[in-house]
């Protein structure tokens, strides 16, 4: 097998490192602004987690529990930030691929299972992404009379094919020479996340936000007792951080050319690019659904049906009557569109790591096309339960990655800063807590599945 222990990328140029050192010397407010301008990998994590599964699980949480379960998405993402922030150190201090580090310093079988799980979950998750994107885009066409109801099936397939081609072409820009492809890719994803915030904020503010209930809902004071509700909550936790995300983040740091000087930047990127966008957008969706759907006895069948219920929101304004419906559709559609290309990227990178070939090889392109089979999802109606159901099973796999991260963190000793051992102990406590929570969640899902079988 060829040696891919060295990540196939160029180190950050000296000018960029000098700029980063200048940013690090600034007072904290100006330092954070400087970090925001050059961040990137964290936004890729935000883009993948803000997918169709997160949208549909947020619909369900808002419909069934109102504001009560706002804490679920925030907790799931916060756990991911802790793990990713810890693993950033060995990723940035080593020139070896994170997969190769896992292979050499932890366990080769665990590393292979980790990479294969990243590919498999990316393929399975893609089905729901295509289903939701096609459903919402076609609903916009129906709302604006672009085509008739009888043409919906054909239009969905057309959207699906366009999404496949566009996503593949965008994914292939990643990793081009001199980092221009990576920066373009990250810029597109930042723009899509910003677009989501605008759409959902407009709709949520129009429905009205109960700030006291919002603050109360961010505290984890309750957990559902019914099996179906537990699956949806566990699915929401699985949506927040998937095992495929754990594969992408450390690799994206290394492919960006970042080194040990970028550690604080990488951790800021996790908060600013992953935690905050996900928490804000998922909270806005839950609030909107809590305000509009919570009194309904039966939830709408899927995302497009939710958007249709939003139609009256702007009818008392100068805007077109379908504004609420279209805004919600656009915001929801942007979520799987940003996620599909990341799923393709993960599959391509993971396949290259397993085979031991360069990331710029034809195997990368082959790997990126694997999630394209998810286009078959456009034939489905994208029901509420599909995404969270897939994610609840994916939650079972997450402890594999978290355990590997914990072991890897303690088997790499890069860096000799003062106080490293004491900080290492704190990180270990935090990671053990996260691992315990994911194991409990995975165990509940396994026990629930066994009960349903018998």
Q: Is the pLDDT of residue 239 over 70?
A: no
Q: Could you give the number of structural domains in the chain?
A: 1
Please list the alpha-helical segments (H only) found in 241-361.
243-255, 263-269, 276-293, 303-309, 323-355
* 18: in domain: no
* 229: in domain: yes
pLDDT at position 283 is 95
- pLDDT grade, residue 375 (50/70/90)? very high
Domain that holds residue 103: 39-413+427-453
Q: Is the pLDDT of residue 26 over 80?
A: yes
* C-alpha distances out from residue 119 to 86, 111, 265, 352, Å: 23, 13, 28, 11
d(CA 19, CA 244): 32
Mean pLDDT is lowest, of 147-161, 174-188, 259-273, 354-368, for 174-188
pLDDT at position 415 is 43
Question: What CATH number does residue 353 fall under?
Answer: 1.10.4160.10
Q: How does pLDDT run across 29-66, given as a tens digit for each residue?
A: 899 999 998 888 999 998 888 888 888 888 889 999 99
pLDDT at position 1 is 45
d(CA 34, CA 39): 9
Residues of the chain with pLDDT > 70, as a percent, come to 89
Strand segments, DSSP code E, in 332-440 are: none
Q: Is the pLDDT of residue 245 over 80?
A: yes
* 29: in domain: no
Cβ atoms of 175 and 360 within 8 Å: the answer is: yes
Q: Is the pLDDT of residue 253 over 70?
A: yes
Q: Which has the closest alpha carbon to 167: 7, 26, 331, 346?
A: 346
In DSSP terms, which residues pair with 6 in a beta bridge?
A: 96
* 366: in domain: yes
Tokens of 383: 């029901």
Tokens of 262: 């970028």
* C-alpha distances out from residue 370 to 13, 193, 247, 350, 366, Å: 34, 24, 17, 11, 7
Q: Is the pLDDT of residue 108 over 80?
A: yes
* C-alpha distances out from residue 69 to 64, 202, 386, Å: 9, 22, 19
Q: Is the pLDDT of residue 5 over 50?
A: no
Q: What is the CA radius of gyration of the chain?
A: 21
Cβ atoms of 92 and 258 within 8 Å: the answer is: yes
- How many other C-beta atoms can be found within 10 angstroms of the C-beta atom of residue 401? 26
Q: Is the pLDDT of residue 243 over 80?
A: yes
* 15: in domain: no
d(CA 164, CA 44): 19
pLDDT at position 6 is 53
- pLDDT grade, residue 450 (50/70/90)? confident
Q: How does pLDDT run across 155-182, given as a tens digit for each residue?
A: 999 999 999 999 999 999 886 655 567 8
* 11: in domain: no
Q: Pseudo-torsion of CA 83, 84, 90, 94, nearest 10°? A: 160
Q: Is the pLDDT of residue 383 over 60?
A: no
* 82: in domain: yes
Q: How does pLDDT run across 419-439, given as a tens digit for each residue?
A: 466 788 888 999 999 899 888
Q: How does pLDDT run across 316-348, given as a tens digit for each residue?
A: 888 898 999 999 999 999 999 999 999 999 999
pLDDT at position 177 is 57
pLDDT at position 279 is 94
Decide which of 231 and 345 is more confident. Answer: 345
Phi and psi at residue 319, to the nearest 5°: -80, 160
The overall average pLDDT reported for the chain is: 86
- pLDDT grade, residue 2 (50/70/90)? very low
* 398: in domain: yes
Rounded to an integer, the average pLDDT of 105-124 is: 92
pLDDT at position 343 is 95
Rounded to an integer, the average pLDDT of 289-305 is: 85
Q: Which has the closest alpha carbon to 98: 428, 350, 347?
A: 350
pLDDT at position 418 is 43
């Amino acid at each position: 097998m060829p040696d891919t222990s060295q990540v196939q990328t160029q180190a950050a140029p000296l000018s960029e490192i000098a700029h980063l050192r200048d940013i690090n010397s600034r007072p904290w407010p100006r330092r954070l602004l400087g970090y925001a301008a050059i961040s990137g990998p964290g936004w890729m994590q935000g883009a993948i987690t803000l997918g169709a599964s997160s949208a549909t699980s947020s619909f369900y949480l808002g419909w069934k529990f109102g504001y009560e379960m706002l804490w679920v998405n925030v907790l799931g993402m916060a756990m991911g930030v802790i793990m990713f922030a810890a693993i950033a150190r060995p990723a940035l201090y080593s020139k070896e691929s994170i997969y190769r580090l896992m292979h050499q310093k932890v366990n080769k079988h665990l590393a292979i299972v980790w990479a294969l799980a990243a590919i498999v979950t990316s393929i399975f998750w893609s089905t729901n992404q295509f289903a939701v994107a096609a459903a919402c885009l076609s609903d916009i066409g129906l709302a604006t009379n672009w085509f008739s109801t009888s043409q919906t099936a054909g239009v969905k397939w057309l959207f699906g094919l366009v999404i496949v081609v566009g996503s593949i072409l965008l994914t292939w820009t990643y990793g081009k020479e001199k980092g221009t492809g990576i920066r373009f890719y990250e810029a597109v994803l930042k723009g899509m996340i910003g677009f989501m915030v605008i759409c959902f904020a407009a709709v949520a503010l129009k429905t009205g936000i109960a700030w006291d209930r919002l603050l109360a809902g961010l505290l984890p004071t309750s957990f559902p007792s019914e099996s179906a509700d537990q699956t949806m909550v566990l699915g929401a936790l699985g949506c927040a951080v998937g095992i495929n995300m754990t594969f992408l983040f450390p690799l994206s740091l290394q492919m960006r050319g970042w080194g040990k000087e970028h550690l604080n930047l990488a951790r800021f990127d996790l908060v600013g690019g992953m935690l905050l966008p996900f928490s804000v957008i998922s909270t806005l969706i839950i609030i909107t659904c809590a305000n509009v759907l919570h009194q309904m006895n039966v939830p709408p069948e899927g995302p497009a049906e939710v958007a249709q219920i939003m139609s009256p929101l702007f009818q008392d304004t100068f805007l077109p009557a379908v504004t609420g419906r279209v805004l919600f559709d656009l915001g929801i559609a942007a979520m799987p569109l940003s996620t599909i290309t990341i799923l393709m990227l993960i599959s391509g990178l993971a396949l290259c790591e397993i085979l031991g070939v360069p990331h710029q090889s034809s195997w990368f392109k082959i790997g990126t096309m694997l999630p394209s089979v998810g286009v078959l999802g456009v034939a489905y109606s994208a029901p509420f339960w599909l995404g969270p159901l897939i994610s609840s099973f994916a939650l079972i796999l997450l402890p594999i990655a978290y355990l590997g991260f914990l072991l890897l963190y303690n088997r790499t000793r890069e860096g000799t800063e003062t106080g490293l051992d004491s900080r290492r102990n704190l990180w270990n406590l935090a990671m053990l807590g996260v691992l315990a929570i994911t194991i409990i969640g995975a165990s509940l899902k396994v026990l629930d599945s066994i009960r349903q079988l018998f």
